[in-house]
Amino acid sequence: MSFLEISGLHKHYGPVAALAGVDLSVVSGSRTAIVGPSGCGKTTLLRLIAGFEAPDQGRIALDGEVLANGGNAVPAHRRGIGVVAQDGALFPHLTIGDNIGFGISRGDDKRSERIVELAYIVGLDKAILKRRPHELSGGQQQRVALARAMAMKPRLMLLDEPFSALDTGLRASMRKAVAELLEAAGITTILVTHDQAEALSFASQVAVMREGKFSQVDTPRELYLRPRDRMIAEFLGDAIILPAKISGGFANSPLGRIPVDTADNRDVARIMLRPEQIALKRTSREGMSGTPDMLFGEVTESEFGGSMCMIAVRLLNSADPPDAAAIGNTPLVLRKPGMDAPAVGEIVRLTVLGKAHVFA
Amino acid sequence: MLPPGGSGAAPELMRSAIDLARSGLPSGTGQRTLWRTAPWIVIAAIFVSLLSLLPLAFIIWIAVQTGWETVSALVFRPRVGELLVNTGLLVLLAVPIAIVLSVALAWLTERSDLPGARLWSWLCVAPLAIPAFVHSYAWITMVPRLHGLWAGVLISVIAYFPFLYLTVSAALRRLDPALEDAGAALGLGPWRVFLRVVLPQLRLAICGGSLLVGLHLLAEYGLYVFIRFDTFTTAIVDQFQSTFNGPAANMLAGVLVSCCFVLLGIEVLVRGEERYARVGSGAARSQQRARLGRATIPGLLLLLATTLLALGVPFVTIGRWLVAGGMEVWRFDEIGLALGQTLFLALAGALLATVAAMPMAWISIRAPGPLQRLLESCNYIVGSLPGVVIALALVTITVRIALPLYQTLFTILVAYALMFLPRALVSLRASIAQAPVELERAASSLGRPPLNALWSTTIRLSAPGAAAGMALVALGIMNELTATQMLAPNGTRTLAMAFWSYSGEIDYASAAPYAFIMVAMSLPLTWLLYVQSKRMAGR
Amino acid sequence: MRYALSTLAGAAALAVNLIAGPAMAEDDGIIVYNAQHENLTKAWAEGFTKETGIKVTVRNGGDSDFSNQIVAEGSSSPADVFLTENSPAMVLVESAGLFAPVDADTLAQVPQDYQPASGKWVGIAARSTVFAYNKTKLNADQLPKSLLDLADPSWKGRWAASPSGADFQAIVSALLQLKGEAATADWLKAMKTNFTAYKGNSTVMKAVNAGEIEGGVIYHYYYFGDQAKTGENSKNVEMHYFKNQDPGAFVSISGGGVLASSKHPKEAQAFLKWVTGKGGQEILKTGDSFEYAVGKGAESNPKLVPLADLQAPKVDATTLNSKKVTDLMTAAGLL
């Protein structure tokens, strides 16, 4: 049963449509990520859910209770929805302890106990409670913000790009820690981010947003491997997109005959492969002879980048003559482990792993 | 804007300038390097700072010279107690009222959907264009019986609340709306969000603005004379008029200075070591305005009432007297002369203050450190002393030590420069902070000697800020009364002096043209202040 | 255009005069420290300049601040002439030895009663103390018989004065001379509880006229000055002259003197002679100052109660002690 139900949400700022009909349902206890480029309306959606603003049209219901129906909206402070903002939005005039305890009534006997407990849950030392927000690192501030939001036992937690201000290394570990923590607490969570890797790794459901609408809502794996269109595909990661003819579960493409994820037959289609689906194996010009059904290429560029290298491969032959010339001129750009990357001028054999995705 | 005996510019504005400077560019030059590259600038800054301590040193010196017995006889007497009660009650009543009024007005104009918020916001600042003694003149015309403490509180609030309004509204604009959202998400209704999230963050602005208002109340003279309310400043002027620079006047000045220090101390205590800036990075999203709904009418009424009291009363009164006086009161020779002299003094004083502030401003941006902070605080302290104290000090110093300088243009300009140095300093700091140090270095590497490099880069670039600072100083000088009366060279008659002399003889109609001209000249400068405060808040 | 020109001229004149220092201004005529009413001295200066061509620069201020200032300035005072409203300020400067003797022919123009025996300064005008009262609030039979009556508890909260002004301080100095220090101190103490302080005699009269207060101790000419204009601030005011040689009938002599340090003694003496002579005294009669003329044979404005009818107490102007008065007033908490 869906816990959060959003339907037909519209919001305009003057002539600009921030949301142009958004539908979403979120299962209780799950994690959903809303991802999209900046300005796509994802923050607006979050603000509508939190109750900071009211929609022009549409409906938001949480656990059966209608929170907003058009301009008729329950104000934020009566929604019981936790929010962690981009930079934590800690109250600079309060200590960390008071920040965490902000939502707990002062008359509550167990207030200080709860504060210590919450600090412990988010992995903060008790000693920190007397300090002020500006004395904390970015990661610590986010933990405080999370603890503060959790203090009021929210039904739903909204995370507004909470990791974007953190260093790359810290970001991944924070993300993992937060995900586990919310999971353990059983709190339904919505994360808004512009970072597709973050969205894919964090959530069980990812909604891709563009120009005020969801273009696709799916599990991370489905989204990555079976995006609805080229833009989604490229937004979620590098993609190799090729023309192909589809028949009998296979595509005839410039990379040869590749199994596809559809049984339909089509004469003109576009297929997508993720670069990691193409394996390279070193060989030499001599090794190419006598193997017409195999695919070879020459490394034209190799850019060292530490753990991963960018490698450009120009195809030397093609199984599908009509497009061979075109393919020969545009090299495939692949990302390969840096340890054993082929050097410029080396000849490699290309093999496609798994199935290609056919765009509808 | 800054009425007689005015003190420094808004500490809140000061602080934002300082924050700007600290967060802005890397300081680059260390203090030692600075000494090597530009010793003259350091010497100049030290000289100005020491000069600014002169009035203080003078009061201590007089007290020591007078001897304890006389000092205690002059200080511990019922009259001083009376003045202390008057002055204390005035500050204790007027400042809190001004705080409540300013916070309400600032919230209405900055954070609500009140119709015409921008216009109202300007109307809340505009009363600064009217010298405080003109406010009083207007009120005494409307309600001749007005006198005493409550009259003092009323007119003080009306004349000085814009200082608080300016700092509080600037702080409100700077607040990160995410914090209010966070408060709401944590279960607080709008009113509690205001009390628990917004108000605490306005503390710095309220402290700074209150300090400014409080110091003005201590320094104000003309306002209270009209309504027969005695404060330390009016008593000092009385003593000065009766005994010139006698010990009684100087001892009262000493007590008044102590009051200023008490205010400064209270402000430091209340402010504490707080930091209310935005924590974290990333751009703050723009603020939403609250829907007033049914509260719109009361909101509008509050603004309307304030505007009527603070602008309506003076404008109507001046208009009424101008009509009553007809063409007769426009004694053009006399007015022209006074206008000319006022403009000359204002511009010359502004120029001197700006030039004097330049070395300190430059050092505080390029080489901040403990020495710089010490020197700079000297400048701010003198700016918070009442004009009457500075004038009294300079009278005595010149009469006793440097008679040739007595009653010269030089001395009055020095007094102006000392009184208004902080205003010039704040504006200059902010604009120097915007001029990258790299340009100075580039000029040096292109072969310019240090001062020349400075002149052709930073000083040129900071010209707009310097101009704004000069305008603010000029505004203060234009409406200054007490120090001008005590120090002005023979034959000087400024607009404020002429106004004062006519209104002293109850010739209110003849005083009206002077009030009119002072207000008309101050309005554009007040507009500048308004625009500057908006810009400092990042809009 | 005229306006703009005079503005420019004002700025330029100030710039030239003041940057170059007082020296230059002095070469250009005489400097008068004027504690008299601005308009009166302006008229004197204009008349004098018209007749002699000698330029006069007037610095306006009060009796006490100027006298103290001149003492502080000592021999380097830029002033050539000092004009006051009351005598104590003159006494202060004289006792500091800073006045040059006044030319004999100037002294000869003024009766002995209006000049000190020392001949160091000379009376230029006179004014009488009055009790100005609101005729709708007080009847003639309720008026104080003597200035001393105002110390009576029955007058509590009913009368006003301007204690910071030299005018009132001159009245107190007369009281001091007539009744002695102890009586004066007591009277001042009672005054502190009884009276309401205003700043300036005009303001006192305005308050009396408006009925804010029943009466006030001021000088006579404020009433006539206002009557000559619109009467707006005096239409309910009536004057009560104490007479009977009461301290409250004190007639204060406005003085003029030439400073010993003057660099233009001849011109300064000429100015004083002019002021006390026909031209200067005529201005007192015809002008709007309403002060009494003191020159021999000079007539005062016919609207005034004749000086001879005032029954003023005999006060020796040369011993009026302003320093003692301010000390006593400071001690009484009036300053």
Q: C102 vs B212, which has greater pLDDT?
A: C102
- Looking at the structure, do residues C121 and C261 belong to the same domain, yes or no? yes
In this complex, whether C and A touch, counting 3 or more CB pairs under 8 angstroms, is: no
Q: Among A85, A93, A138, select the one facing B200 at the smallest CB separation.
A: A93
Rank A296-300, B189-193, C217-221 by mean pLDDT and report only the highest: C217-221
Which residues, in sequence order, are bridge partners of residue B290?
B112
Tokens representing residue A194 in the block: 């512009």
C-beta atoms of C65 and B344 within 8 A: no
Q: Is C51 annotated as a binding residue?
A: no
Q: Is C85 annotated as a binding residue?
A: yes
Least confident of A39-53, A98-112, A279-293, C122-136: A279-293
**C133-162: average pLDDT:** 94
C-alpha R_g of chain B: 23
Predicted confidence band of residue A284 (pLDDT cuts 50, 70, 90): confident
C-beta atoms of A77 and B197 within 8 A: no
Please check the confidence at residue B24 and state whether its pLDDT lies above 50: no
- Looking at the structure, do residues C242 and C146 belong to the same domain, yes or no? yes
Asked if A2-234 and A238-358 have one fold, the answer is no
Q: B297 vs B279, which has greater pLDDT?
A: B297
Mean pLDDT of chain B: 82
CB pairs under 8 A between B and C: 156
Q: Among A85, A93, A164, select the one facing B182 at the smallest CB separation.
A: A85
So what's the pLDDT on residue B31?
55
- Looking at the structure, do residues C70 and C106 belong to the same domain, yes or no? yes
Helix (H) or strand (E) holding A272, with range, is strand A266-273
Tell me if B474 is assigned to some domain: yes
Domain boundaries, chain A: 2-234, 238-358
Task: Tell me the C-alpha to C-alpha distance, in Å, between residue C236 and each of A236, B538, C22.
Answer: 93, 59, 47
Place of tokens 């808040």: B537
Please check the confidence at residue C24 and state whether its pLDDT lies above 70: no
Please check the confidence at residue C221 and state whether its pLDDT lies above 80: yes
Tell me if C98 is assigned to some domain: yes
So what's the pLDDT on residue B172?
87
**Count of CB atoms situated within 10 Å of the CB of B61:** 15
Tell me if B282 is assigned to some domain: no
Please check the confidence at residue C34 and state whether its pLDDT lies above 70: yes
The CATH T-level fold of domain A238-358 is: OB fold (Dihydrolipoamide Acetyltransferase, E2P) (2.40.50)
Tell me if C315 is assigned to some domain: no
So what's the pLDDT on residue B1?
32
Please check the confidence at residue A33 and state whether its pLDDT lies above 60: yes
CA pair distance B408, B154, nearest whole angstrom: 38
So what's the pLDDT on residue B204?
82
So what's the pLDDT on residue A68?
92
C-beta atoms of A87 and B282 within 8 A: yes
A141 to chain B, any CB pair closer than 8 A? The answer is yes
Please check the confidence at residue B538 and state whether its pLDDT lies above 60: no
Which residues, including other chains, have CB under 8 Å from residue B465's CB and lie 6 or more apart? B427, B428, B430, B431, B432, B434
Number of domains in chain C: 2
Nearest Cα neighbor of C145 from C247, C251, C242 is: C242
Q: Is C222 annotated as a binding residue?
A: yes
Q: A146 vs B283, which has greater pLDDT?
A: A146
Q: Give every strand in the sheet of A278-283, ordered side by side.
A: A278-283, A347-352, A295-303, A308-315, A332-337
Tokens representing residue A340 in the block: 């054993």
> How many residues would you count in chain C?
335
Distance (Å) from the C-alpha of residue B263 to the closest C-alpha of chain A?
Answer: 23
A133 to chain B, any CB pair closer than 8 A? The answer is yes
Tell me if C76 is assigned to some domain: yes
* Domain A2-234, architecture per CATH: 3-Layer(aba) Sandwich (3.40)
So what's the pLDDT on residue A34?
95
Residue C76, domain extent: 2-126+251-306
Q: Among B176, B193, B275, select the one facing A89 at the smallest CB separation.
A: B176
C-beta atoms of A53 and B176 within 8 A: no
Render pLDDT for A288-322 as a digit per residue (tens, 0 to 9). 777 767 888 889 888 888 888 888 888 887 655 55
Render pLDDT for B292-303 as a digit per residue (tens, 0 to 9). 888 899 999 999
Render pLDDT for B209-220 as a digit per residue (tens, 0 to 9). 898 899 889 989
Q: Among B238, B248, B506, select the one facing C203 at the smallest CB separation.
A: B506
Tell me if C313 is assigned to some domain: no
Q: B382 vs B333, which has greater pLDDT?
A: B333
So what's the pLDDT on residue A325?
47
So what's the pLDDT on residue C306?
92
CATH number of the domain bearing residue B498: 1.10.3720.10
Tell me if C316 is assigned to some domain: no
Interface of C with B in 205-264 (CB under 8 A): 205-206, 210, 212, 226, 233
Tell me if C312 is assigned to some domain: no
**C37-58: average pLDDT:** 92
So what's the pLDDT on residue C12?
54
So what's the pLDDT on residue B286?
66
Least confident of B76-80, B248-252, B270-274, C18-22: C18-22
Task: Tell me the C-alpha to C-alpha distance, in Å, between residue B356 and each of A5, B6, B346, B407, B462.
Answer: 66, 18, 15, 21, 15
Q: What is the pTM of this model?
A: 0.80
Predicted confidence band of residue C15 (pLDDT cuts 50, 70, 90): low
Q: Confirm if A62 and A155 have CB atoms less than 8 A apart.
A: yes
C-beta atoms of C10 and B79 within 8 A: no
CA pair distance C107, B168, nearest whole angstrom: 67
Q: Among B145, B228, B338, select the one facing C10 at the smallest CB separation.
A: B338
C16 to chain B, any CB pair closer than 8 A? The answer is no
- Which of C2, C65, C162, C237 to probe the B interface (max B CBs under 10 A)? C65
Q: Confirm if A73 and B184 have CB atoms less than 8 A apart.
A: no
A227 to chain B, any CB pair closer than 8 A? The answer is no
C288 to chain B, any CB pair closer than 8 A? The answer is no
Mean pLDDT of chain C: 88
Mean pLDDT of chain A: 87
Number of domains in chain B: 1
**Residue type for A353, please?**
L
Which residues, including other chains, have CB under 8 Å from residue A209's CB and lie 6 or more apart? A22, A34, A35, A36, A40, A41, A42, A45, A215
Which residues, including other chains, have CB under 8 Å from residue A153's CB and lie 6 or more apart? A80
SS3 content of chain B, % helix, strand, coil (to 5): 80, 0, 20
- Which of A53, A62, A74, A77 to probe the B interface (max B CBs under 10 A)? A77
Please check the confidence at residue C10 and state whether its pLDDT lies above 80: no
CA pair distance B203, B131, nearest whole angstrom: 28
Query: What residues in A contact B200, CB-CB < 8 Å?
Result: 91, 93-94
Sign of CA dihedral A213, A215, A219, A224: negative
Distance (Å) from the C-alpha of residue B125 to the closest C-alpha of chain C?
Answer: 29
Distance (Å) from the C-alpha of residue A286 to the closest C-alpha of chain B?
Answer: 57
Residue B129, domain extent: 11-275+297-536
Query: What residues in C contact B238, CB-CB < 8 Å?
Result: 163-164, 335
B325 to chain C: closest CA residue: C230
- Looking at the structure, do residues C141 and C241 belong to the same domain, yes or no? yes
